[in-house]
Amino acid sequence: MASDTFLDIRNLKIGVTVREPGERPRDITIVHGVSTKLEEGKVLGLIGESGAGKSTIGLSSLGYGRGGVEITGGEVWVNGRDILDLNRAGLNSFRGKEVCYVSQSAAAGFNPAHKLIDQVIEASLEHGIMSKPEAMARARELFAALSLPDPDNIGDRYPHQVSGGQLQRVMTAMALCPKPDLIVFDEPTTALDVTTQIDVLAAIKNAIRVTGVAALYITHDLAVVAQVADEIMVLRNGETVEHGSTKQIIEDPQEEYTKALVSVRSITHEEKVPTDKPIIEMKNIVAGYGSGPKILDDVSVELHPGQTLAVVGESGSGKSTLARVLTGLLPPRSGEITFEDRTLTPDQKSRPREDLRRIQMIYQMADTAMNPRQSIGTIIGRPLEFYFGIKGRKRDEKVAELLDKIELPADIAGRYPAELSGGQKQRVCIARALAANPDVIICDEVTSALDPLVADGILKLLLDLQAREGVAYLFITHDLATVRAIADSIAVMYKGRLARYGTKTEVLTPPFDDYTDLLLSSVPEMELGWLEQVMAHRKMESAGN
Amino acid sequence: MNPALKLIAQRLALGALLLLAVSALIFAGTQILPGDVAQSILGQSATPESLANLREELGLNEPALTRYFDWLGGILVGDLGTALTSGADISEAVGKRLSATLFLASVAAVISIPLAILLGLVAVRYKDRWPDKLISASTLASISLPEFFIGYLLIVFFAVNLGWFPSLARINDGMSFFAKLEAVFLPALTLTLVVLAHMMRMTRAAILNVMQSAYIETAELKGLGSFKIIARHAFPNAIAPIINVVMLNMAYLVVGVVVVEVIFNYPGMGQYLVDHVSKRDVPVVQACGLIFAAIYIGLNLVADVVSILTNPRLRHPK
List the single best residue of A66, A83, A92 to mutate versus B (max B Cβ within 10 A).
A92
Cα of A94 to nearest chain B Cα, Å: 7
Q: Which residues of A touch B215 (CB under 8 A)?
A: 108-112
**Which stretch of DSSP H or E encloses residue A46?**
strand A43-47
Shared domain for A463 and A424, answered yes or no, is yes
Q: Which residues of A touch B213 (CB under 8 A)?
A: 108
Residue B224 touches chain A, beta carbons under 8 Å? yes
Instruction: Give the A-side interface with B, CB within 8 Å.
Output: 62, 64, 66, 88, 91-97, 100-101, 103, 105, 108-114, 119, 122-123, 126-127, 157-158, 160-161
Side chain identity at residue A454, one-letter code: V
Instruction: Please state the rounded mean pLDDT for residues B163-192.
Output: 80
Q: Residue B232 gets which letter from DSSP?
A: I
Our CA dihedral for A479, A481, A485, A491, rounded to 10 degrees, sits at: 50
CB contact under 8 A, B237 and A93: no
Q: What is the pLDDT of residue B222?
A: 92
Residue B221 touches chain A, beta carbons under 8 Å? yes
Shared domain for A72 and A129, answered yes or no, is no
Shared domain for A74 and A137, answered yes or no, is no
Domain that holds residue A41: 1-95
Size of interface A-B (CB pairs under 8 A): 77
Phi, psi at residue A13, to the nearest 5°? -120, 130
Among B273, B306, B278, which residue's Cα sits nearest to residue B292? B273
Shared domain for A40 and A115, answered yes or no, is no
Domain count for chain A: 3
Residue B226's alpha-carbon distances to A70, A174, A385, B117, B119, in angstroms, are 19, 20, 56, 16, 15
CB contact under 8 A, A109 and B219: no
Residue A5, domain member (yes or no): yes
Residue A139, domain member (yes or no): yes
The CATH number assigned to the domain holding A394 equals 3.40.50.300
pLDDT one digit per residue (tens) for chain A, 545 residues: 445 788 899 888 888 887 766 677 778 888 888 888 888 888 999 998 877 888 889 899 898 888 778 888 888 888 888 888 888 888 888 899 999 999 888 888 999 999 999 999 999 999 999 999 999 999 999 998 888 888 999 999 999 888 888 898 899 999 999 999 999 999 888 877 888 888 888 888 888 888 888 999 999 888 888 888 999 999 988 888 899 898 898 888 888 888 888 877 667 777 888 777 889 999 999 998 888 888 899 999 999 999 999 999 887 788 888 999 999 888 999 999 998 888 888 888 888 998 999 999 998 888 888 998 899 999 999 999 999 998 889 999 999 999 998 888 888 888 888 888 888 899 999 999 999 999 999 999 888 878 888 888 889 889 989 998 889 999 998 888 888 888 999 999 988 899 899 888 888 888 888 888 888 888 888 788 888 888 887 766 554 44
Fold observed for domain B94-280: MetI-like fold (1.10.3720)
Residue in B215, B222, B310 nearest the CB of A96: B222
CB contact under 8 A, B233 and A109: no
Q: Give pLDDT tens digits for B127-152.
A: 888 999 998 888 888 888 888 888 88
Burial zone of A529 (CB within 10 Å; 0-12 exposed, 13-18 middle, 19+ buried): exposed
Residue A237, domain member (yes or no): no
CB contact under 8 A, A126 and B224: yes
Shared domain for A382 and A447, answered yes or no, is yes
Residue A415's alpha-carbon distances to A411, B194, B317, in angstroms, are 8, 51, 48
d(CA A544, CA B160): 73
Shared domain for A9 and A62, answered yes or no, is yes
Q: Give pLDDT tens digits for B220-267.
A: 999 998 889 988 999 999 888 888 888 888 888 887 777 888 888 888
Cα of A4 to nearest chain B Cα, Å: 24
Residue A100's alpha-carbon distances to A123, A128, A174, B7, B223, in angstroms, are 9, 15, 9, 40, 9
Q: What is the pLDDT of residue A21?
A: 65
Residue in B213, B225, B312 nearest the CB of A158: B312
Shared domain for A175 and A193, answered yes or no, is yes
CB contact under 8 A, B221 and A94: no
Q: What is the pLDDT of residue A545?
A: 45
CB contact under 8 A, A101 and B312: no
ipTM: 0.76
Q: Is the pLDDT of residue B1 over 70?
A: no
Side chain identity at residue A211, one-letter code: T
d(CA B89, CA A409): 87
d(CA B108, CA B95): 20
Q: What is the pLDDT of residue A358?
A: 92
CB contact under 8 A, B318 and A64: no
CB contact under 8 A, B221 and A122: no
Instruction: Please state the rounded mean pLDDT for residues B191-220.
Output: 89
Residue B2 touches chain A, beta carbons under 8 Å? no
Q: Which residues of B touch A101 (CB under 8 A)?
A: 218, 221
d(CA A416, CA A419): 6
Q: Residue A292 gets which letter from DSSP?
A: S
Percent helix, strand and coil across chain B, each to the nearest 5: 75, 0, 20
Residue B218 touches chain A, beta carbons under 8 Å? yes
B250 touches B105 (CB < 8 A): yes
Shared domain for A109 and A81, answered yes or no, is no
Residue in B218, B221, B223 nearest the CB of A127: B223
Residue A223, domain member (yes or no): no
Tell me the pairing of strands A280-287 and A296-303: antiparallel
Residue in A91, A109, A127 nearest the CB of B215: A109
Shared domain for A351 and A465, answered yes or no, is yes
Shared domain for A156 and A122, answered yes or no, is yes
Neighbours of A427 (CB within 10 A): 24
Q: In residues, how long is chain B?
A: 318
Residue B212 touches chain A, beta carbons under 8 Å? no
Q: Is the pLDDT of residue B170 over 80?
A: no
Q: What is the pLDDT of residue A380?
A: 93
Residue A250, domain member (yes or no): no
Q: In residues, how long is chain A?
A: 545
A160 CB-near residues (< 8 Å, 6+ apart): A112, B312, B313, B316, B318
Q: What is the pLDDT of residue B36?
A: 67
Final residue of a structural domain among A75, A95, A115: A95
